Amino acid sequence: MARPCSIALILAVPTPEGIFHASYGRAGLRAIYFPGEDGLAVVQPSGADAPAAVEMWHDLTVAAVQSALGGGGVKALPPLDWSGATGFQRRVWAALLKIPRGEVRSYAQIARQIGSPGAARAVGAACGANPIPLLVPCHRVVAARGGLGGFSAGLAWKVRLLTREGHLIQDQRLDLW
């Protein structure tokens, strides 16, 4: 499913790991794009062009992304624009935000937590639809039996992030890399 790429303000997020991009809607941060994702018409307005609110949000986003990449805790997030998401997706993503740095949950645990035991698979689908990976930490959700699950920006990123947060990962698929 394509991520929303309609009318939005897109600003660059420079990091030591490459240039991410952040997309903003009226209500706040709408999506994060990882380095190298194609198909983006990147608009980098001069400072004066961006509304003041977006400038403030973007400052928070940049700080949060850089901190998250360093394995540190994320202190503050800009408001998140989840318009267009289903109720189920919002419940899943809200649950992800409660996972402390350095901990992981299984898809089934998240399902139970939001009151839909047995919806583990649907939780996986909601994670895949998460437009704000890294800050809405879907990389902290793994399969119950030691598997990795997936990651929209690529499993290599998931492994890097988890390793940085102190987890040792083993997954058969990694041998292929």
Partner DNA sequence: ACTGGGTAAACAG
Partner DNA sequence: CTGTTTACCCAGT
Among 12, 74, 150, 171, binds DNA (CB under 7 A): 150
Is residue 121 involved in binding DNA (CB under 7 A)? yes
- Which of 25, 106, 132, 165 binds DNA (CB under 7 A)? It is 106
Q: Are 28 and 15 in contact (CB under 8 A)?
A: no
Q: Which of 32, 54, 92, 138 is catalytic?
A: 138
Contact (CB, 8 A) for 23 and 31: yes
Asked if 136 contacts 96 with a C-beta cutoff of 8 angstroms, the reply is yes
Our finding on whether 154 is near DNA (CB under 7 A) is: no
- Binder to DNA among 4, 143, 164, 167 (CB under 7 A)? 143
Task: Check residue 71 for interaction with DNA (CB under 7 A).
Answer: no
Contacts of 71 (CB under 8 A, 6+ apart): 101, 161, 164, 165, 166
- 4-23: contacts with DNA (CB under 7 A): none
Which of 12, 43, 94, 108 contacts DNA by CB under 7 A? Answer: 108
Q: Supply the DSSP symbol for 19.
A: E
CB-wise, 43 or 77, nearer to DNA? 77
The DSSP bridge pattern shows strands 105-106 and 29-33 to be: unpaired
Query: 74: which 2 tokens?
Result: 């994320």
One residue of 10, 64, 99, 120 binding DNA per CB under 7 A: 120
> 3-class SS at 109?
helix
| Cα–Cα distances in angstroms (integers) from residue 140 to residues 29, 44, 69, in the given order | 20, 31, 13
Q: Under the criterion CB under 7 A, does residue 34 sit at the interface with DNA?
A: no
Phi/psi for 18 (5° steps) reads 125, 180
Q: Is 5 a catalytic residue?
A: no
Which residues of the chain form contacts with DNA (CB under 7 A)? 1, 86-89, 106-108, 116, 118-130, 133, 138-139, 141, 143-145, 147, 149-152
Q: Catalytic residue numbers?
A: 138
